[in-house]
Amino acid sequence: MIDNIRVGKKLVDLVTPKVMSILNCTPDSFYKGSRIDSVSDALFRAEKHINEGADILDIGGYSSRPGADEVSENEELKRIISVIESIHKAFPEILISCDTFRGKVACEALEAGAHLINDISGGEIDPSILKVVSNFQCPYILMHSKGTPQTMQNLTNYNSIFKEVVTYFSQKLNVLQKLGINDVILDPGFGFAKTLDQNYDLFNRVADLQFLGRPMLVGISRKSMIYNKLKITPEESLSGTTVLHTKAILSGAKILRVHDTKEAKQVIQLIMNN
């Protein structure tokens, strides 16, 4: 099992799991509390997340929730590049991830100060993103999904969700290796092209994905697999999120992608110090 990623000349140790905090530069992300509408707001939120223990900030300008509206490339760039530049300048020690599936956006984000690329599509929507990652030799978060945010919820037919995800990751890792992309983090893609039951079937087998030998990112914070299961709202889903974060860490997850930094950090501290 690889328990680190290389960021430039720095080796980031993942033996103790890390917290990736979400900064959504979007007006329509499913959780209202994560939305950011200006650079000053982004800097304020970034500082709050950092003070609460964030290890990585994940910045995105295209809501990937099921059924989200299409966002042009220019609009996505407009939303995030100045935010990345400003956060990198104000907090040079924090790792910045850019949440995008577009090659041009990834390139400009990395030039602006981002360190990782978080791609929901595995290079399927815009294959040029893989060349960008290879050229920059940056860590790449490979997520399992199908289709686009507009079509994904119609693409949930699987004989076995676990076998499908394993096959997908295995094939993609071979492709990435041939491109010289070595620092790869796997994300099972909870909520992406998966039904409620499929999400839990896969979540209950996160530990079994460890044989792939790559660090695992789990992103379940306040998602529909929690609030639909409990018949509540995203705003009421922190307790459920904390329960699943606990199980994810016990199952071997190395990164939690979260809205609530302090609570996720506490989960890690309690489990790792026990």
* pLDDT confidence of residue 152: 74
* pLDDT confidence of residue 28: 54
* pLDDT confidence of residue 156: 86
Q: What is the pLDDT of residues 70-80, one digit of tens each?
A: 789 999 999 99
Question: Of 45, 146, 257, 265, which is the active-site residue?
Answer: 257
Residues shown for the chain: 274
Under 8 Å between Cβ of 155 and 146: yes
Nearest one of 155, 267, 167 to 212, comparing CA atoms = 167
DSSP helix/strand/coil, 204 = coil
Question: Of 18, 223, 254, 265, which is the active-site residue?
Answer: 223
State pTM to two decimals: 0.93
- Which residues of the chain are under the pLDDT cut of 70? 28-35, 65-68, 274
| Structure letter (DSSP) for residue 70 | P
DSSP helix/strand/coil, 221 = coil
**What are the backbone angles phi and psi of residue 258, rounded to the nearest 5°?**
-140, 160
DSSP helix/strand/coil, 192 = coil
Q: How many CA atoms lie within 13 A of 74 on its CB side?
A: 0
Cross-strand partners of 117:
98, 140
* pLDDT confidence of residue 103: 98
Under 8 Å between Cβ of 84 and 110: no
Strands 4-7 and 10-13: antiparallel
3-state secondary structure 112-161: HCCCEEEECCCCCCCCHHHHHHHHHCCCEEEECCCCCCCCHHHCCCCCCH
Under 8 Å between Cβ of 65 and 149: yes
* pLDDT confidence of residue 26: 78
Residue 223 bears catalytic tag: yes
| Structure letter (DSSP) for residue 91 | -
* pLDDT confidence of residue 150: 74
Q: Which structural domains are found in the chain, ordered by start?
A: 4-272 (3.20.20.20)
Q: What is the pLDDT of residues 229-268, one digit of tens each?
A: 999 999 999 999 999 999 999 999 999 999 999 999 999 9
